[in-house]
Structure 1
Amino acid sequence: MTEQGRQCGRWVLHLDMDAFFASVEQLTRPTLADRPVLVGGAGPRGVVAGASYQARVYGARSAMPMTQARRRCPQAVVLPPRFALYKTISEQVMAVLGEAAPIVEPVSLDEAFLEPPALAGADGSEVAAFAIALRAAVRERTGLPASVGAGSGKQLAKIASELAKPDGLRVVTPDEEREVMAALPVRALWGVGPVAEAGLRKLGVTTIGQLAAMDPREVTGLLGVAVGTELHRLARGIDDRPVAPRGAAKQISAETTFETDLTAMTAVHDAVARMTEAAHRRLVVDGRAARTVTVKARSADFTTASRSETTAVASTDLATLTAVAQRLARSAVPDGGVRLIGVSLSGLGESPPPALFDAVASSDGWVPVPVADVDAGVPIPGVDVDPSGTAGPPARPGPEGPLVAKGAPGSQGAPGPERPRAADGAPERPGVPAPERPGVADGAPCSTGVEPRRPWRAGDDVRHSEHGHGWVQGAGHGRVTVRFETRATGPGVAHTFAAADPALTTADPLDSWTLPAPSPDGVVET
């Protein structure tokens, strides 16, 4: 190593979980450990959210339409995403990184940057030893593999982790930077998309090394001063961007692309209620309150309409937010059906303390009412109050029957405390799966304690009173086949039951990952 390499003052690490969604499925469903797995929507509009390395061999990849991926890899097992499980494991990964460095910058659920102070001024071998220990800690905590890249800046660390995949480590010392980066395509740089790539190709520039050799004036003339200057610096290995925690989200949202267009307003209202509930779970977890509700609706011809409403009073009440979203949907949804519904909550602030006034839904919008009146059960114009004194949205009679917001008094399936499980802030774009069934926001099965799903679908987590935890391999014609296995059990056996068998109930996906606790005598209980 050169003197320059020994005196490197800065080391940034980038940890990236390998094929995260698919790896989680293979870990918790051991029968799939060596098989091609695709995670995402199985319907005609489904998109691959994750592909195992065994599926990638056949050309299947994330962001690809599921129909195309299945044509390329017909033997793949297709599973719905279980975002609650992915999020919980992601939190464990970030906790490990937080123990290794005081500041962690998450990029997504499965990757993050860190700049450990202990590595300042270290040489390559010390960095490698640190990264080896970090990968081992992640595997011990989660059971999953991770790749780590290290370099003098975030860009180089990201490139190094890509070179390390799968399940590897790559440390790029300063004296190796030019050699490593020179031959890489320009698309490997942050900020180079299809348009910039096409413009550079017209000039004969296809690699990072060629971009680094260009005259800065030529680069800025093609890409603009701000973008061109930054990309030229990155191409030459100059990257002093700090590792910093991500700022608080400005909005929280959830949306669904339906397998078939929704044409009935009752179905739209049900979907809006589910979207609002999904966004609300994250709102509560983050300790935030929302002033603005926005509903987005996309028709079959991809025309998109949105409607928003803002109140002076921030709210965390699910019934209030749902009622507003459903009212907005009536004017946002086009004639002829809707292929996508989204609900976002914005104007976020800290969850407010109890106040003299709260906002409740009425036919005219959000109405400030004294909290004392609600608690006392005093009737409020336009608002239904049940005998328990809880304010809820009014029933809206119409040709399709009264509409009651999910979670409001008199509704079925009012939500109780549960782990967050919805994807938030995800627009309809490549890489985000369409749900497997119309109106399901996150692909996760119902939580434990509710009525079992009838009929079952492939990928559901279930529990049998005799056989324990398992997952649905297939269902139809009144029968369901379940393979009973978890991370702790190893590959399990499959049994077929009547779909209505009372011994089968829905199960928490986390039970497939969490290892059983040791008994007091040190024996693991199964």
Structure 2
Amino acid sequence: MSEFSSKVRVQPRYVAHLDMDAFYASVELLRYPELRGQAVAIGGGSDHQPVVLADGSRSYATLRHYIGRGVITTSTYEARALGIFSAMGIMKAAKLAPDAVLLPTDFDAYRHYSRLFKAAVASITPHIEDRGIDEIYIDLSDQSEPIHIVAARIKKAVTDATGLSCSIGVASNKLLAKICSDLEKPNGLTILTEADLEIRIWPLSVRKINGIGPKAAEKLEQLNIRTIAELAKADPGALQDTFGSSYGAWLHNVAHGIDDRPVVTHSEPKSISRETTFERDLHATTDRTTLYEIFKKLCERLASDLQRKGYIGRTVGIKLRFTDFSAVTRDVTLPMSTDDANAIRRAAGECLRRVTFHQKLRLLGVRVSTLEKKDTRTTSQPSLQGDLFATDADSV
């Protein structure tokens, strides 16, 4: 080994996972600060808006009086302490905490604050992988400052820009960083070293590993594997026999903290979609007017999303879910790409005409795929038939 090579130092890899704390709920608490410290659930339709009283105070709906099959989108930490979590049915949540406040979702506000916090992080480092409305990965390997100072600076920038708190986990890879960001919530900052793996990560449940879902966890439990430590000590051959060679090898690696995935700072979306689950099942004929308004609004919001993100697309599709939970999808490819709401509606309406409505509907979605960046070219507004839910005046 040459004298030069013996002095070469490998640059340590630092990956941060930033997760906004109870994001939707926290945004709502900016608007309604008097609810801080209370059990608050976000979800359901828009018919439970706060009411301003004569004295200027607000009256809030509670879970106790909710009727419908909506689900909880998120909840404050106080509500979580009572057992109320995202994706739980609101009626079920009402049995656990009937006096918890219920607020409607406001995704326009959440997207606004999402853009604010990501811009704040980007002002410090551009090496960001967008993972959704409330979380990002950040590659901090090239930072000259001590890593805890950089992470603290990012947290402060996010709070200054939004008034909201976030939790950051820093480790040698994305897998461990994501686990770490959840260890000291809310407003946490966790930096994991190689020596911390067995102490802080191994005692955790295997479900803490992103990629191990309920079915895999159930199979692991049948092998008497419940913690990450037990998974790390399991025979790799036995894991591959049970889960297949690829997933079995992955389980062995992640239990030992091995993850070589890069922080991807740019990727093009494959599709953009909007969908909604109805408060009650809707009939294609008797609820035609209601369905049309929902359908039209979905197409308008989808077009707005495309325009805001600077994309146009050629393939328009629909997604339907019926009362029995069976799902149907249809799509059509246009002669030219578009981001126009009317063009999307007419194309999606063409897809609706190819569906047999044998039951009532519980969900409707619209998507645009085969995306490309919009330029100065004129986009299409294809002359298709009117959609299935349209009135005669709306049909073209």
TM-score where L is the length of structure 1? 0.65
List aligned pairs for 1:345-384, cutoff 5 A.
Answer: 345-355=368-378, 358-363=380-385
Distance of 2:100 and 2:175 partners within structure 1: 34
Aligned residue in 1 for 2:317: 294
Is 1:402–2:392 an aligned residue pair? yes
Aligned residue in 2 for 1:56: 80
Residues 150 and 160 in structure 1, CA contact (< 8 A), matched pair in contact too: yes
List aligned pairs for 1:184-195, cutoff 5 A.
Answer: 184-195=204-215
Residues 107 and 113 in structure 1, CA contact (< 8 A), matched pair in contact too: yes
Is 1:24–2:39 an aligned residue pair? no
SS in 1 for 2:382: strand
Query: Structure 1 residue aligned with 2:172, among 152, 155, 167?
Result: 152
Shift of 1:142: 0.6
SS in 1 for 2:269: coil
SS in 2 for 1:348: strand
Residues 41 and 80 in structure 1, CA contact (< 8 A), matched pair in contact too: yes
Aligned residue in 1 for 2:121: 97
Query: Structure 2 residue aligned with 1:238, among 234, 242, 258?
Result: 258
Distance of 1:243 and 1:270 partners within structure 2: 41
List aligned pairs for 1:6-25, cutoff 5 A.
Answer: 9-25=12-28
Residues 296 and 332 in structure 1, CA contact (< 8 A), matched pair in contact too: no
Shift of 1:137: 1.4
Q: Which runs of 5+ in 1 are unaligned?
A: 1-5, 364-392, 409-526
Shift of 1:118: 4.0
Distance of 2:340 and 2:190 partners within structure 1: 48
List aligned pairs for 1:220-259, cutoff 5 A.
Answer: 220-245=240-265, 247-259=267-279
SS in 1 for 2:363: strand
Distance of 2:251 and 2:107 partners within structure 1: 34
The amino acid of 2:322's aligned partner reads S
Distance of 2:252 and 2:357 partners within structure 1: 46
Distance of 1:194 and 1:88 partners within structure 2: 33
Larger radius of gyration: 1
| Higher helix proportion | 2
Query: Structure 2 residue aligned with 1:166, among 180, 186, 195?
Result: 186
Residues 296 and 306 in structure 1, CA contact (< 8 A), matched pair in contact too: yes
SS in 1 for 2:183: helix
Change (3 A) 1:75 1:7: farther
SS in 2 for 1:117: coil
Shift of 1:352: 4.9
The amino acid of 1:75's aligned partner reads D
Q: What's the C-alpha RMSD, in Å, of the aligned pairs? A: 2.4
SS in 2 for 1:156: helix
Residues 307 and 331 in structure 1, CA contact (< 8 A), matched pair in contact too: yes
SS in 2 for 1:134: helix
The amino acid of 2:16's aligned partner reads L
Q: Which runs of 5+ in 2 are unaligned?
A: 1-8, 46-66
Shift of 1:87: 0.6
Residues 15 and 141 in structure 2, CA contact (< 8 A), matched pair in contact too: no
Distance of 1:200 and 1:127 partners within structure 2: 36
- State the identity as a percent: 34
Aligned residue in 1 for 2:227: 207
Distance of 2:141 and 2:120 partners within structure 1: 16
Residues 11 and 153 in structure 1, CA contact (< 8 A), matched pair in contact too: yes
Query: Structure 2 residue aligned with 1:73, among 76, 97, 101?
Result: 97
Shift of 1:7: 8.3
Residues 314 and 369 in structure 2, CA contact (< 8 A), matched pair in contact too: yes
Aligned residue in 2 for 1:141: 161
Aligned residue in 2 for 1:41: 44
- State the Cα deviation string for residues 246-287 of structure 1 (Å, max 9, x = none): 522111111111112222333333322111112111111122
Which structure has the higher relative contact order (CA within 8 Å, separation 6+)?
Answer: 1
Change (3 A) 1:71 1:333: farther
Distance of 1:52 and 1:358 partners within structure 2: 45
TM-score where L is the length of structure 2? 0.86
SS in 2 for 1:322: helix
The amino acid of 1:402's aligned partner reads D
Aligned residue in 1 for 2:5: none
Residues 14 and 170 in structure 2, CA contact (< 8 A), matched pair in contact too: yes
Shift of 1:104: 0.5
Residues 343 and 380 in structure 2, CA contact (< 8 A), matched pair in contact too: no
Residues 69 and 89 in structure 2, CA contact (< 8 A), matched pair in contact too: yes
The amino acid of 2:148's aligned partner reads A
Aligned residue in 2 for 1:319: 342
Is 1:113–2:127 an aligned residue pair? no
Q: How many residues align?
A: 364
